[in-house]
Structure 1
């Protein structure tokens, strides 16, 4: 850019003029525009023209910056390491003094002047164009609210420290991705009815320029959504296992989490753990997620705890006294998961299966212990035994004589009545049709011929009565024979 200069003359012959020489009308520098606002890292064109009287020869042209001090030659920016690689002279040695300054930085904000030096009559005259070009270099900053609530409208502004000289078309980015190639003619981005998906780091740029503003975080707050409950471990749950319920919730700010079983509060936090789970822990669980903007419940999750039979018992229907000939139903109750297989035991023998065991026309032979066995794949359990106490009238009534054999007067004889009944029967003795005594045993001491005859026992309870077959006592005078 610099021209070859004539040998330097003493400084006393150098004349610095800020308004021209004696013929001011023929000297001048014109800048258009005189104020430039440029974006950081862009290229700036400083348009410039100059005039000088006819007959002068241009010895040197250059640009300088800062205030011009009378009596001192201003520095040539093309010799400044900070400018030499970025400054390009686009003018000539006649009228055009335009330059391009590339990759401008904030430190390049100065007033710049064009200066030319002429040679006339073996003296050097220099002219510096005043007022120069004021260059302001700006970067971009995004101005945005730090936090907005879902549904609000939010306005983001791409700000610069000065109004850009070139007409600017702004581009907006979210998380480094352009917003659908959006190129607004103004420097504002309006998000109407903001959504949680709009949260992110926003930055802006000017179309055609590389400079992108620092990103600013937009934080969108919203009530809980997508609240769900998962269980670990998955699969079948058996009593004694340890189980963890995990609540997931999408919200901003993070929600507080509460656990409910049915409608009862049971805990708080993201995780609800149950160690050594039991059948009592079976039921419906849900998680409540709440923050300052709202709340939401998860769908219910059912804990289905598998366990072996317990609380196995037998009930009798109808309840109360059981009389032979009645119909009786035994019912087995069992708490288990999955439902158990039920089998019935009479004494030590399996006699049936299913929850109900029915006996129609019950007999005295059925007066034994019954119990049910409840079994599933996790274990088995027997009920306590129940005894069917069947009431029935006397049966099998018989009389025996002791001693057996011939009966002789003077002997002692005992008649013994046997009777099967429930409840136990009362026993009465008859000789012929005449009542002679009661009780299981009828004794005759020193029997005589008068005691000869037919004897029988009558057995009676609340359900009926029965006589034994008669037995004949034949008392011998000398030798009594029982016939």
Structure 2
């Protein structure tokens, strides 16, 4: 069956089916190229932590060639700035508690310490881009959800001891005086004293269990 209009030269030898297949292939290539321009990957599902602990939000991103990522900033619920290279732009609620662990290539992870119940919510990331000498920004359409539960207190005996203030169930496999975790935890707690504490507990860096 002839087409609705004549095709000149070599194209007239192609059937309409062959032409359709060629067009579909070209469309798929173009679609794939554009679909991979920007992408952000977060942890599956919400993260859950205790108040007073810390959280690392794992994050990675991809972007197309020809663009340069000049800066990254994180926001809470899309309005409060959690992290910015310009500290003056960070919201007062997050100053001194957020640290960017990533880079400007593919890693965009964020760490927030001293978690508060008010930190619960969704965290979004924004990229600042330079292309052809002009500045742009792109914000992820989805973010990382964080749940913050009530305080889970630990006591630490200098210099290396650590234990939970609830009934112990199972010992941890490390340390000269191994910490122990309360029932229902899915991650083991660790407390490591850094340096030589002079008075009280000294400086601590901790990883806490996920609330049940």
* Structure-1-length-normalised TM-score: 0.25
Matched, 1:85 2:96: yes
How far apart are the structure 2 equivalents of 1:51 and 1:62?
16
Which residue of 2 is the match for residue 183 of structure 1?
Answer: 180
Asked which structure has the greater CA Rg, the reply is 1
Aligned length: 134
- Cα offset, 1:89, TM superposition: 0.4
Q: Is the 8 A contact 1:29 1:51 kept in 2?
A: yes
Higher relative contact order (CA 8 A, sep 6+): 2
Report how far residue 140 of structure 1 moved: 4.8
Residue equivalent to 2:131: 120
Which residue of the other structure, out of 165, 172, 183, is the alignment partner of 2:166?
A: 172
Cα 1:102/1:140, change in 2 over 3 Å: closer
Residues 29 and 171 (structure 1), Cα distance of their counterparts in 2 relative to 1, 3 Å cut? same
Question: Scaled by the length of structure 2, what TM-score is found?
Answer: 0.54
In structure 1, list runs of 5 or more residues that go unmatched: 1-21, 68-73, 142-168, 174-180, 189-205, 211-483
C-alpha contact 1:90 1:100 (8 A) present in aligned 2: yes
CA displacement, residues 166-219 of structure 1 (integer Å, 9 cap, x when unaligned)? xxx96516xxxxxxx99356249xxxxxxxxxxxxxxxxx84368xxxxxxxxx
Task: Say whether residues 1:98 and 2:109 are aligned partners.
Answer: yes
Note closer, same or farther for the CA distance 1:182–1:50 as it changes in structure 2 (3 Å cut).
Answer: closer
- Specify the SS of the correspondent of 1:77: strand
What SS class does the counterpart of residue 104 from structure 1 fall into? coil
Question: How large is the Cα RMSD of the aligned pairs?
Answer: 3.2
Partner of 1:270: none
Q: Is the 8 A contact 1:61 1:117 kept in 2?
A: yes
Q: Does 1:27 align with 2:38?
A: yes
1:64–1:114 contact (8 Å) kept in structure 2: yes
Give the number of the structure whose residues are more often strand, by fraction.
1
Matches of 2:136 and 2:102 in 1, distance apart?
A: 20
**Structure 2 unaligned runs (5+)?**
1-32, 84-89, 153-162, 168-177, 192-205, 207-212
Which is helix-richer, 1 or 2? Answer: 2
Taking structure 1 as reference, are residues 34 and 84 closer, same or farther at Cα in structure 2, changes over 3 Å only? farther
CA contact (8 A) 1:171 1:182 kept: no
Moved runs in structure 1, 4+ residues, more than 6 A? none
